[in-house]
Structure 1
Amino acid sequence: MYPTSFRFHLQSLAYLTITNSSSCVTSLQLEELQWPDGEQEVPISVCSLPCKTGERKKKVKGMPCCWICELCDGYQYQYDETSCRLCAYNMRPNSNRTACQHIPIIKLEWHSPWAIIPVFLAMIGIIATIFVMATFVRYNDTPIVRASGRELSYVLLTGIFLCYIITFLMIAKPDVAVCAFRRIFLGLGMCISYAALLTKTNRIYRIFEQGKQTVTAPRFISPTSQIAITSSLISVQLLGVLVWFAVDPPNTIVDYDEQKTINPMLARGVLKCDITDLQIICSLGYSILLMVTCTIYAIKTRDVPEDFNEAKPIGFTMYTTCIVWLAFIPIFFGTAQSAEKLYIQTTTLTVSMNLSASVALGMLYMPKVYIIIFHPELNVQKRKRSFKAVVTAATMSSRLSQKPSERPNGEAKTELCENPAADPMSEYTP
Structure 2
Amino acid sequence: MRQVVVVFADKMTTGELMRRAKQLDVTHDPRLDRLRRLGTISVQPLVENLSGFDDYMAGLDPLALPLARNPWLAEFWEDTFACALPGAAGGADGRAAGEVAANRADRPACDPTLRLTEQSGYRQQKYLHFVRDATWAFANALNDMHLDLCKGQPGLCSGMQHIEGYTLRQYLSKVHFKDQNNQSFRFLNGSGEGPPRYSILNFQRDKQGGYFWKNVGQYSLTEDGSSNLVLRREEILFKAGGRRDFPTSECGTPCLPHQVKVKKENDLCCWTCRTCGSYQVVRDDYDCEECKPGFLPSPNQRHCMIVPVTFVDYSSPWAVVAMTFAAFGIVVTVLCGLIFAAHASTPVIKASGRELSYLLLVGNLLSFGMTFLIVARPTDATCGLTRFFLGLCYTVCYAAIVTKTNRTSRIFTRRPVKHRTRYTSPQSQLVITAILTSVEVVVNAIWLLYRPPATLVISPTREQRVLICDGLDDSSYLIGLIYPLILIGFCTIYAVKTRKCPGGFNEARYIVFTSYTTCVLWLAFVPLYIAATDHALRTVTLAMSLSLSGLVQLACLFFPKIYVVVFKPEKNTRDAVMAHRSHAFIPTCHSTPVVLINGTSRGVYARCRRGPPLCCRQDISTSSGSDSQGAPAAGAVSSPLRLDFTRFNHITSLRAPVTGSGNVSAASALRRRKHSV
Question: Normalising by structure 1, what TM-score?
Answer: 0.75
**Are the equivalent residues in 2 in contact too, given 1:259–1:270 (CA < 8 A)?**
no
- Whether the 8 Å contact between 2:503 and 2:576 is mirrored in structure 1 is no
Give the superposition deviation at 1:298: 1.8
Shift of 1:249: 1.6
Deviation at 1:381, TM superposition (A): 5.8
Mapped contact 2:525–2:541 kept (Cα < 8 A): yes
Q: Is the counterpart of residue 398 in structure 1 residue 594 in structure 2?
A: no
- Deviation per CA, 1:190-248: give whole Å up to 9, x if none: 11001111111222222222x25555233322222211111111111111111122122
Pair 1:409-2:591 in alignment: yes
Equivalent of 1:428, from 631, 634, 651?
651
461, 467, 471: which is aligned to 1:271? Answer: 467
Q: Which amino acid aligns with 2:557?
A: L
Identity of aligned residues (%): 37
Matched, 1:223 2:426: yes
Asked if 2 retains the 8 angstrom alpha-carbon contact of 1:3 and 1:46, the reply is: no
| SS of 1:398 mapped into structure 2 | coil
**Cα displacement (A) at 1:428:** 2.6
Partner of 1:155: 359
* Shift in Å, 1:165: 0.9
Cα distance in 1 for residues equivalent to 2:582 and 2:467: 62
Distance (Å, rounded) in 2 between the aligned partners of 1:253 and 1:220: 48
Q: Does the 8 Å contact 2:412/2:648 carry over to 1? A: no
Give 1:5-154 correspondences, 5 Å limit.
Answer: 46-60=250-264, 62-154=266-358
Q: Which has the higher helix share?
A: 1
Measure, in 1, the Cα distance between the counterparts of 2:391 and 2:429: 21
Q: Any conservation in 2 of the 1:3–1:45 contact (CA below 8 Å)?
A: no
Shift of the 429–68 alpha-carbon distance from structure 1 to 2, 3 Å rule, reads farther
CA shift for structure 1 position 182: 0.7
Q: CA deviation at 1:159?
A: 0.6
Q: Quick one: which amino acid aligns to residue 255 of structure 1?
A: I
Tell me which amino acid in the other structure corresponds to 2:516. Answer: Y
Correspondence for 1:259 among 461, 470, 489: 461
Q: In 2, distance between residues paired with 1:192 and 1:316?
A: 18
Secondary structure of 1:80 counterpart:
coil
> Counterpart in 1 of 2:565?
372
2:571 & 2:448 partners in 1: Cα distance?
A: 50
Displacement of 1:361 after TM fit? 0.8
Offset at residue 292 of structure 1 (A): 2.0
Tell me the equivalent position of 1:32: none
Instruction: Give the number of the structure with larger relative contact order, counting CA–CA contacts within 8 Å between residues 6 or more apart.
Output: 1
1:349 equivalent in alignment to 2:542: yes
Are the counterparts in 1 of residues 294 and 464 from structure 2 also a CA contact under 8 Å? Answer: no
Superposed displacement of residue 164, structure 1: 0.8
Residue 62 of structure 1 deviates from its aligned partner by: 4.6
The CA distance in 2 between the partners of 1:293 and 1:411, in whole Å, is 39
How far is 1:127 from its partner?
0.2
Number of positions where the alignment pairs a residue of Structure 1 with one of Structure 2: 367
Given candidates 422, 447, 450, the residue that maps to 1:244 is: 447
Query: Residue type matched to 1:398 in 2?
Result: A
Map of 1:317 onto structure 2 = 514
Paired residue secondary structure (1:51): coil
Q: Which amino acid aligns with 2:512?
A: G
Matched-pair contact (CA < 8 Å) for 1:60–1:66: yes
Q: Residue deviations 1:31-64, cap 9 Å, x none?
A: xxxxxxxxxxxxx762222121122224446533
Structure 1: tracts of 5 or more residues without a match: 14-43, 261-266, 385-389, 413-417
Question: In the superposition, relative to structure 1, how do residues 234 and 255 fare at CA in structure 2: closer, same or farther (>3 Å)?
Answer: same
- Given the alignment, which residue of 185, 189, 201 partners 2:405? 201
Distance 2:649 2:545 in 1: 33
CA distance in 1, matches of 2:335, 2:268: 84
1:352-386 Cα deviation digits (max 9, x unpaired): 221211111112112222333344454456799xx
Residues in 2 aligned to 1:401 and 1:259: alpha-carbon distance in whole angstroms: 66
C-alpha RMSD of matched pairs (Å): 3.5
Residue of 371, 386, 397 corresponding to 1:182: 386
Match of 1:41 in 2: none
Residue 352 of structure 2 contacts residue 505 of structure 2 at CA under 8 Å; is this kept in 1? no
Q: Deviations over 1:281-318 (max 9, x none)?
A: 11111111211221122233334443443233222222
Q: Which of structures 1 and 2 has the bigger CA Rg?
A: 2
Q: Kindly provide the amino acid, as one letter, of the partner of residue 283 in structure 1.
A: G
Contact preservation (8 Å) 2:503, 2:581 = no
Deviations 1:98-127 (A, max 9, x none): 111111222235454433432222111100
Tell me if the contact between 1:147 and 1:427 (Cα under 8 Å) persists in the aligned partners.
Answer: no
Matches of 1:179 and 1:161 in 2, distance apart?
Answer: 19
What is residue 31 of structure 1 aligned with on the other side? none
Task: Describe the shift of the 1:394–1:222 C-alpha distance in structure 2 as closer, same or farther (beyond 3 A).
Answer: farther
User: Structure 1's 75 and 326: CA in aligned 2 closer, same or farther, altered over 3 A?
Assistant: same
Partners of 1:102 and 1:345 lie apart in 2 by: 24
The residue type equivalent to 1:364 in the other structure is: L
Once residues 293 and 327 of structure 1 are traced to their aligned partners in structure 2, the CA distance between those partners, rounded to angstroms, is 21
Say which SS state the counterpart of residue 283 (structure 2) adopts.
Answer: strand
Mapped partners of 1:313, 1:66: distance in 2: 82
**Per-residue deviation, 1:94:** 1.4
**Offset, 1:186:** 1.0
Alpha carbons 2:351, 2:504 under 8 Å: kept: no
Distance 1:307 1:234 in 2: 26
1:235 paired to 2:442: no
Correspondence for 1:17 = none
User: Per-residue displacement from partner, 1:383-409 (whole Å, max 9, x unpaired)?
Assistant: 99xxxxx9xx9899435689xxxx722
